[in-house]
Chains A and B, each alone.
Chain A
Amino acid sequence: MEPVVVVDRVTKRYGSKPAVRELSFSVGKGEVLGFLGPNGAGKTTTMRMITGFMPPSDGRVLVDGVDMVDAPLAARRKIGYLPEVPPLYPEMEVREFLAFAARLRGVGRRDVEGAVERVSARCGLAGAGTAIIGTLSRGYRQRVGLAQALVHDPEVLVLDEPTAGLDPKQIHETRLLIRELARDRTVVLSTHILSEVTVTCDRVVIISGGRLRAEDSPERLAARLATAGRGSAVVEIETASPAEAAAAALTAAPGVASVNTGSETAEGTVVLQVALEDDEDRRSELARTVLGAGAPLLGLRRAGASLEDVFLELTASEAEDGETA
């Protein structure tokens, strides 16, 4: 695939502290690239370098073959950018603001009205043209933010945490919209929510500590994360207090690595976290063990680590690898 955005050994230092270190990746034409990492990983800094907001300390960024430092205006023209906080003027009307953004990005005077019309329809703002931006809800502001990024019909759309702060319905709508927008352009979006990339992205770049940790399709990455999560199966058993007998019996049971007794709840129940030696399903044996110890069995479930937890573990452990390598 022909790369549209090339990030080539880019480093960004604030003072002497590097926020991004020797980062390289590229985004193919028509691709949706998810930029994933914990907060403070350097996502926003990287996006700001791609959009030409700030120059890299080292390395280069190419947009459609144009160097962002050598020809910033030509390169910026090809990009639409929605920062984490949508850049909106609260006193303006939606339509007025979009026309301003269009003019600023080089849309000709005669084409402005058509561009605003098109982008309003696309972002679900058709009825909100005369609304004052300051009075809009968070979801609508986000739509206006997306619309201003799109108004000059850029080849590359860069979205910094586009679903942050939205409610579940708005998140769903935004994701659908991004997928639809991606049909005829390249999209780079950052997020710290893992499920977001599985829904919207073709490819994922994971960074933490300013370094590249992984680069793969969401499916393959999910498989990797699942493997990384193996061997840490935990079963949570709810029983009545006192639970010493049950805990002792469970500790002695085959395949159990350790038992962690939780604190007593107001209803007089206790949750025992039973860590297993492998990921075999031992729930029925564990249930019998508890009952055999004369304790009531009030609940039992496998505690699967969330994707996010596993992801964080992966980035943390790979971060250590990166330091020692």
Chain B
Amino acid sequence: MTAALIICRREIAAALASPVAYVLFGAFAFIYGYFFTEFLRNFVEVGMRMSELGGFSGGSLHVNHDLINPLLLTAAVVLLFLVPLISMRSLAAEVRSGTMELLLTAPISDGQIVAGKFLGGFALYLTMLAVSLLHVAVLFWFGQPDILPILAGYLGLALFGAATIALGLFFSSLTSSQIVAGVLTLAALLLLWVVEFAGQTGGSFGRLLAYVSVTGHLAEPARGVVAVRDVIYYLSFAGFFLLLTRETVRSRRWRG
């Protein structure tokens, strides 16, 4: 495990040494910040209109349910587009620059290499995600949201990140081109996103599509419910692609 942490640390250092990481964090802060402001304004307007009606509307607004929940789901979609930019570099760049030879001739297993690369990418993802905590903190400043549902939502987003980063790592192991790796990851993630809408048509095929969808499993956590089936979905998703990545790394040895 030590070797994995050594690789993970270098991965993070390399990302922070290039401007890419800061551009990504900045882009996320900007886009997420835009949605946050829009959602918040909408929330406040609706709230004011409801209080003017004086309870006749029969409904009530809750900051968790009507602001944070949709906000977290939106965050997932923004992250969907940024994950490929984090993961594409990972193994593809090592192969391109010849440093893969350093890793593959070091006394460490292929699994440790993949684990290190994954942890590095995941750590960058979590750092990016942490930017959005600022916005949530603002809500705490002005209101009293329930903290547990928020934690559940962030756990969901973390699991979502583990799964998508693992997928990106797999595509990064297939090619020596970062661009190819990034485009393949984005295409796969977009596909796993849109099947959520296709899945709403119902039927057994629809249910299958809904289950496969990478964003669909965020619905419950975003509402504050950590369901075992969602956790299992993300963990097995991540595990599957990590194992696949290890196999590609191994086959790279045979191909030379």
Contact A81/B103 with A89-B10, A91-B18, A100-B10 known, Cβ cut-off 8 Å = no
Give every chain B residue within 8 A of A92 (Cβ-Cβ): 10, 13-14, 17
Cβ A55 vs Cβ B256 within 8 A: no
Give the number of residues in A that approach B within 8 Å (Cβ atoms). 32
B203 close to A (CB within 8 Å) = no
B179 close to A (CB within 8 Å) = no
Cβ A55 vs Cβ B254 within 8 A: yes
B79 close to A (CB within 8 Å) = no
Cβ A45 vs Cβ B256 within 8 A: yes
A126 close to B (CB within 8 Å) = no
Cβ A52 vs Cβ B255 within 8 A: no
Q: Is the interface of B mostly helix, strand, loop or mixed?
A: helix
Cβ A105 vs Cβ B107 within 8 A: yes
A83 close to B (CB within 8 Å) = yes
Cβ A100 vs Cβ B6 within 8 A: yes
Binds A, one of B49-57, B94-102, B160-168: B94-102
CB-CB contacts of A210-239 with B at 8 A, as 1s and 0s? 000000000000000000000000000000
Residue ID in chain A nearest B256 by CB atoms: A54
Complexed CA–CA distance, A101 and B6 (Å): 10
Cβ B107 vs Cβ A53 within 8 A: no
CB-CB contacts of A139-175 with B at 8 A, as 1s and 0s? 0000000001000000000000000000000000000
Cβ B6 vs Cβ A104 within 8 A: yes
Cβ A89 vs Cβ B106 within 8 A: no
Cβ A83 vs Cβ B101 within 8 A: yes
Binds B, one of A71-79, A176-184, A312-320: A71-79
A48 close to B (CB within 8 Å) = yes
Q: Measured between C-beta atoms, what is the minimum distance from B104 to chain A in Å?
A: 5
CB-CB contacts of A93-113 with B at 8 A, as 1s and 0s? 000100011011110000000
Cβ B104 vs Cβ A53 within 8 A: yes
Cβ A76 vs Cβ B10 within 8 A: no
Cβ A87 vs Cβ B6 within 8 A: no
A256 close to B (CB within 8 Å) = no
Cβ B107 vs Cβ A106 within 8 A: yes
Mark A residues whose CB is within 8 Å of B.
14, 45, 48, 51-55, 72-74, 76-77, 79, 81, 83, 85-92, 96, 100-101, 103-106, 148
A to B CB contacts below 8 Å, 15 in the list: A45-B256, A53-B253, A77-B107, A79-B105, A85-B98, A87-B99, A87-B101, A88-B99, A89-B99, A90-B97, A101-B102, A103-B6, A104-B108, A105-B107, A106-B107
